[in-house]
Structure formats: structure tokens, C-alpha cells
Amino acid sequence: MKKLVKLAAVALTASLVVGCAGPNQRPSQDSLLCTTFGALAGGAAVSLTSDNDSAAVGGAIMGGLLAMILCSAEDAVPVEVTAAAVCTDVPPPGALLDAQGCAFDSDSDGVVDGVDMCADTPAGVKVDRVGCPLDTDKDGVADFEDMCPSTPLGTIVDKTGCPIVGETIFSLPGVNFAFNSATLTEDAKTRLTAGIQTVRNLPGVINVSVEGHTDSIGSEEYNQTLSLKRAQSVVNYLVSQGANGDRLSAVGMGESDPVANNDTDAGRSANRRVDFVISE
């Protein structure tokens, strides 16, 4: 019987060494159990060489200490902890976030998704604060597609952003002339200041007809001739102020296209006007 006990002690001691010192040890959870087995194994191992009970007790103590060393947490393989990703910028309110909690910008325009109102902007296109392409002249055609990026505000444009032929880009009522002549008054020159800047800013692909209009006082033939002379006076003045004369043409409309009733002073004043119309 003692031989069987001794053989069991040897096997237990071997399993202790292999189990506690092996790569699959979990000392943080099993240290108490491992120490207990160590004490039993140590006591049994000493009994192999001695029948003395005191020696067996000493062996148990030594076995327990050995197990504590072999099963020490210091020898355990440390668990690698992946550091949490840190976002470059704090995500703004409303931004869509990735798995790390960081905002992303799918079209790389500088405005993050969730805030970006135009999330498929082509690469390199300048955008506003909500991520949409800039439209400087506010004609509904983005600058990167606009062939006429400085169209006057309110002008009807085609899909390329250019004014439609026949479209009046602006009208200047009350452009007055000296009585029965085509000479511009100083007040008329002041009113034409707005027209000068607009004509200067028009793209080179646009030509403009300067249309002179009169009221209905006088004969139709006379008004036709007078309106042409007055339109030419306006063109000449604009050119003297830096406008490109090659893109301007004078047209006399006479009394043919009234915008108000010629029976009143106010109506006749409104009809005596100069219109700037896209010709091509």
C-alpha cells in the first residue's frame, strides 16, 4: 500500500511541476488550489524516503512554497491591451462617427459627414461651411461648373451658368437726357455707375445690347431715331469709363416696348429707360 501511495506522490509532484510551470497556467485564479496541491505533493514526496511524520509535514510546507513560486503571477504572460484610438479633432454636433468614435469625411472636402449637405463633392472643389460647392454669383450653378461666374444677381441663366439670350440683366429707369437731345445729364451719368461695374464684370463670352426706350410723346419715327442716339450715348459713356466697346451695341427701341402707361407722368418716366440685354 505504501508503494502505491509513493507512486501517486511522484505522479502528483510531476503534474504539479508541469501544470504550474507550463504555458497554460492561470495563477491569478488558481494560486490557492495550486499551493494546496503543492503541499500534498511535497508531503507525499518526502514520505518516499522517510516514514517519519514530521518529515512529511516539512515536505508539505516545502511543496506549498515551491507551488507558490511556480504559480507566481510574476511569471504569467501579460495580456496585451490595445490603446483606444484618439481622434484628431473633437467631432462636431451631428457628425457621423466611425467605430473609434471619430468623425469621417468621405469626400475629403474638409466638412465631416453628417454636417456635409453635399457629401459627394468632386475632389478639389471649394465648398462653403456646410460642404456644398461655392456659387459666387448665386445663380444656382456652382462655380466649378459655371462658365459665367459673375452673372448679375437675379439673372436667369442656362445650365452652364450663362445668361439666356434675350434676358435683360438689368434696367436703368430715369436715365435722362437734355431736352430733345441725346446728351446725358449728370444725374444720368450717376445712374449709369451701377451699369458700368456690371458690364465690366461680365464674362468675355457675353455680348450686351444697350436698348434705348422712349415714351409715346412725339412721332413713332422720331422716337425711334432719338432712342437709338440715346442708346449710343450710353454705350459711348460706358466705354469712356473702361467698358469693352466690342461687346456693347446700341439699339433703338423707340416707344415700342413700354413697361408702364404713357398717360401719366410716372408712366412716361418709367418708359424712358435703358435696358441691358444679352445679345449672344
Helix (H) or strand (E) holding 38: helix 27-47
Lowest mean per-residue pLDDT among 35-39, 50-54, 184-188 = 35-39
Residue 199 is predicted with a pLDDT of 77
Residue 130 and residue 182 in one domain: no
In terms of domains, do 67 and 98 share one? no
**Does one domain contain both 266 and 211?**
yes
Q: Which of 138, 109, 139, 147 is nearest to 125 (CA)?
A: 109
Looking at the structure, tell me whether residues 180 and 254 fall in a common domain: yes
The Cα–Cα gap between 127 and 142 comes to: 10
- The confidence score (pLDDT) of residue 15 equals 46
CATH code, domain with 194:
3.30.1330.60
Cross-strand partners of 208? 248, 278
What is d(CA 83, CA 213) in angstroms, rounded to the nearest whole number? Answer: 77
**205 and 252 in one domain?**
yes
Number of domains in the chain: 3
d(CA 116, CA 60): 73
Query: What pLDDT was estimated at residue 73?
Result: 47
Task: Specify whether 64 is located in the same domain as 103.
Answer: no
Tens of pLDDT, residues 107-155: 999 899 999 999 889 999 999 999 999 999 899 999 999 988 878 778 8
- pLDDT value for 7: 41
The 10 Å Cβ neighbour count of residue 101 is 11
- DSSP string covering 207-234: -EEEEEE--SSS-HHHHHHHHHHHHHHH
User: How much is the pLDDT for 188?
Assistant: 81
**Residue 83's pLDDT is what?**
52
Contact 29, 1 (CB under 8 A): no
CA pseudo-torsion sign 17, 22, 24, 30: positive
Whether 97 and 67 share a structural domain: no
pLDDT at 229 exceeding the cut of 50: yes
Q: Are 54 and 130 in the same domain? A: no
62-113 residue pLDDT tens: 554 454 555 554 455 566 655 555 788 888 898 888 888 899 898 999 899 9
User: For residue 149, is it within any domain?
Assistant: no
More confident residue, 100 or 252: 252
Task: Please give the share of the chain, as a percent, with pLDDT higher than 70.
Answer: 67
* pTM, entire model: 0.53
* Among 124, 167, 131, CA closest to 148: 167
Residue-range definition of the domain harbouring residue 268: 168-278
What average pLDDT is seen over the chain? 75
Determine, yes or no, domain membership for 154. no
The Cα–Cα gap between 267 and 264 comes to 5
